Amino acid sequence: MIEINLLHLPGIYNGADRLEVRTMQRSLPMSEGDKALLREVPFISLLTVEVRQKMLDMATSIHYEPRDIIFREREPSDFFFCVLNGYVRLYRLAKDGKEADIRLCGPGETFAACFLYAEGGYRYNAEATATTVVVRFETSKVRALAERYSEIDKALVGLIAAQLLDSIDCLANDRLRTAPQRVANYLLGACAGDGQAASIRLPFSKSLLAGKLGLAPEALSRAFSTLRGSGVTVHGRLIEIEDPEALRSL
């Protein structure tokens, strides 16, 4: 089945005069591979086998191309989502066209689950940043199932609490760390952790990394320039780290 949202056809502008790439949502049957990935998602894995299967049975797999809009701010929050492949960018859009990144969701991460317990529609926009497959759950059906199985609410509240704590950490780090320190911390998290020289390849563009770290693209470039003195070399998406311990000392 192919679902076409007429608001997202080519040449349609939103209120901030931002040209949106058309969204072609392709609803796909859940493959066994998709189901296996979904079973490993934190809130799904906490459920009993019976309830886990009921959640899988109501899940729908959706395919998006880069820059496809999954939903917009203020649209009815009828679904929440889990990323199976690719990345989804969550952001706010101001009237003047300025964008503020909120979160970058990768494989295994869930977004918009909090709207199960909140009214008023989505509070941000969601956009695929690459060829992406997400699984969506209809909130009304999940609520109905949760009335029969309280473990669903317990698992989702745990998920939302973990995301809240992560958001608090990110906010604090944005306030307490300089731009080079934020980048260094991200690079260290991507290293093997053995203290040896490493090469990592970013799974997304540097502009997305900038948004993820709460930086403007030019601030990210300056941070990488500063980190050259600590043995960091950038070649496109490939980043070479000569001495991870030098980054830890920043």
- pLDDT the model gives residue 191: 83
The total number of structural domains that make up the chain: 2
- pLDDT the model gives residue 217: 92
Q: Cα separation of 242 and 250, whole Å?
A: 15
Residues 114 and 157 in one domain: yes
- pLDDT the model gives residue 7: 37
Residues 166 and 226 in one domain: no
- pLDDT the model gives residue 8: 37
What tokens appear for 203 in the block?
Answer: 């799974």
Residues 212 and 150 in one domain: no
Please give the residue range of the domain that contains residue 40.
2-170
Residues 182 and 99 in one domain: no
CATH of the domain at 214: 1.10.10.10
Last residue of a domain, one of 150, 170, 190: 170
Phi/psi of residue 124, each to 5°? -160, 175
- pLDDT the model gives residue 5: 39
Q: Cα separation of 192 and 149, whole Å?
A: 40
What tokens appear for 227 in the block?
Answer: 């980190």
Residues 133 and 237 in one domain: no
Residue-by-residue pLDDT tens, the chain, 250 positions: 333 333 333 333 344 444 444 445 566 667 888 889 999 998 999 999 999 999 999 999 999 999 999 999 999 999 999 999 999 999 999 888 889 999 999 999 999 999 999 888 999 999 999 999 999 999 999 999 999 999 999 999 999 999 999 999 988 988 899 999 999 999 998 887 667 888 999 999 999 999 999 999 999 999 999 999 999 999 999 999 999 888 989 8
Last residue of a domain, one of 122, 145, 170: 170
Residues 124 and 26 in one domain: yes
Q: List % helix, strand, coil for the chain (3-state, nearest 5).
A: 40, 25, 35
- pLDDT the model gives residue 25: 58
- Beta partners for 133? 63, 85
